[in-house]
Amino acid sequence: MENDIERVLVDEEVILKRLDVMAKEVRKDFPGEVLVVVVLLKGALVFASDLLRRVPRMLEIECINVASYHGGTESSGTVNFLDHKLPDVKGRKVLLLDDILDTGRTLKAVKDRLIEEGATEVKTGVLLAKDKERAEAVEADYVGFFIADEFVVGYGLDYQGRYRNLPYVGVLKAEAQ
pLDDT at 156 over 60: yes
| pTM for this entry | 0.91
The domain limits of the chain are 2-176
pLDDT tens, position by position, 65-113: 987 755 555 555 677 777 667 899 999 999 999 999 999 999 999 999 9
- Residues 12-31 have a mean pLDDT of 97
pLDDT at 51 over 90: yes
Q: Does 2-176 carry CATH code 3.40.50.2020?
A: yes
Q: Which residues are catalytic?
A: 102
Confidence tier at 9 by pLDDT (50, 70, 90): very high
In this structure, the chain runs to a length of 177
The average confidence (pLDDT) of the chain is: 92
Which pLDDT does position 141 carry in this prediction?
Answer: 98
Question: How far, in Å, CA of 107 to CA of 3, rounded?
Answer: 31
Cross-strand partners of 126: 98, 143
Q: For residue 144, which of 158, 154, 134 has the smallest C-alpha distance? A: 154
Burial class (CB in 10 A: 0-12, 13-18, 19+), 43: buried
